[in-house]
Amino acid sequence: MSGFDSNPFADPVDVNPFQDASVTQATSGGADRLNDFNPFTAPETGSVTGTTIPITATVSQPAVLPTSVEQSAQASASAAAASLAKQQEELEKKAAELERKERELETRSAPRTNTGEKENNWPPLPKFFPVKPCFYQDFEEDIPEEYRRICKRMYYLWMFHSATLFLNLLGCLAYFTAATTHGVDFGLSILWFGLFTPVAFLCWYRPVYKAFRSDSSFSFFFFFFVFFFQVVVYIIQTVGIPGWGNSGWIAAISMIQTNLAVAVTMMVVAGFFTVNAVLGVILLKMVHSKYRRTGASFTKAQQEFSQNVMSNRTVQSAAASAASSAASSAAQGAFGRN
C-alpha cells in the first residue's frame, strides 16, 4: 500500500544526469586535453597526443606523368620539328635553284646582230680570222632537254665521220705509195673528204638540229631521206671496192701480201668506216623513235614546206617576175591580133 500513498500530482524529483560519479570523472579528466586536440592531424597509434603538427609541415608530392609517356611525347615533338626544318630547308634550296636558273636565263643571251638576230658562233673561229662563223649553235638554249642527248650524239657522229674521211685520205695515200696504180683512189679520197664533210653537216646534221629545235616535220623527213643514203654510203665505204677511193676491207685485204704495214693502216680505216655504219643505223633508229613521240607527220611536213616556199622572198620575186612576164606576153599577143 506504500506504493499507492505517493502523490502522482507532486513535482518530480530533479535528477541531474551529469551529477553521476562516472560522468563527472570522465569530463573533469579530459577537459584539458580536449583544448589541445587537433582534428586535422592523423593519429599514429589511435590515441590523441598532446602536440599539434602544422599544416605547412605536411609533405605533398605533385602529380607526375609516367616517364615513358613524357619521353614519347618529347620524341614526337622533336621528330616533327626536325621534319619541318628539313622540309623548310629543301624548299629554300629549290627556291634558290629556281631563282638562279631564272637569273641565268635572263642574263644568258646570245650575241645579236643589229637586226636583232642571233650572231653566228659556229665554227668557232678567232675574231681576227677573215672568214666569219656561218651558223648559230647552242644545245643548251635551242634543244629541249629530252632531245639534247640524241642531238649531241648526231653532232659527235658528224665529227667522227669527218675524222674517218681524213684517215681514209691517209690510208689511200699509203695505198698509192705502195702501188702507183691506185692514184685514182687517192684523188677520190681527197674529193670525198673535201665534199662529204660540209655536205654531211648541211644535209643531215643541220636538219636534225632544226627538227629537234623547232619540232619541224619537214626537217625530220629531210633528215631521214638524206641520212638513209648516208648509211648506204657508209656500208659501201666499209666494203672498200677498189677504185672508189675508200680504204675498206676488200682493198685492205688485197694489200696484205704486197705491203703488210699499208694493209694494217687500211684495216684501221676500214674499222672506222664499220663503226660509222653501225652508229648510223643505231642513231637512225633512235631519231625515228624520238620523231614518233613529237607528233610530226607527212601532212605537217607538206604544210611547212608550202609555207616556207610561199614565204621565201626569192620564190616570191621569181613568181612575181614570171607572172609579170606572162601578163606582158599575153598583152602583146592580144595587141598583135588586133
pLDDT, position 227: 96
Domain that holds residue 163: 150-294+301-307
Q: What confidence tens digit (pLDDT) does each residue in 35-89 have? A: 555 555 545 444 445 555 555 544 555 555 555 555 677 777 788 888 888 888 8
Q: Residue 323 pLDDT > 70, yes or no?
A: no
Residue 243 lies in a domain: yes
**Mean pLDDT along residues 204-221:** 90
3-state secondary structure the chain: CHHHHCCCCCCCCCCCHHHCHHHHHHHHHHHHHHHCCCCCCCCCCCCCCCCCCCHHHCCCCCCCCCHHHHHHHHHHHHHHHHHHHHHHHHHHHHHHHHHHHHHHHHHCCCCECCCCCECCCECCCCCCCCCCCCECCCHHHHCCHHHHHHHHHHHHHHHHHHHHHHHHHHHHHHHHHHCHHHHHHHHHHHHHHHHHHHHHHHHHHHHHHHHHHHCCHHHHHHHHHHHHHHHHHHHHHHHCCCCCCCCCHHHHHHCCCCCHHHHHHHHHHHHHHHHHHHHHHHHHHHHHHHHHHHCCCHHHHHHHHHHHHHHCHHHHHHHHHHHHHHHHHHHHHHHHHC
Whether residue 263 lies inside any domain: the answer is yes
The pLDDT assigned to 222 comes to 92
77-130 pLDDT, tens digit each: 788 888 888 888 888 888 887 877 666 565 444 555 554 567 888 888 888 888
Residue 182 lies in a domain: yes
Residue 206: inside a domain: yes
- Mean pLDDT is lowest, of 72-81, 126-135, 174-183, 260-269, for 72-81
> What was the pLDDT predicted at 126?
84
Residue 91 lies in a domain: no
pLDDT at 320: 55
Q: Which residue type occupies 327?
A: A
Total count of domains within the chain: 1
pLDDT value at residue 118: 77
Residue 245 resides in a domain: yes
Which of residues 5 and 186 earns the better pLDDT score?
186
pLDDT at 162 over 90: yes
Q: Choose the weakest-confidence range: 15-29, 149-163, 293-307.
A: 15-29
Q: Is residue 261 part of a domain?
A: yes
Q: Is residue 31 domain-resident?
A: no
pTM: 0.60
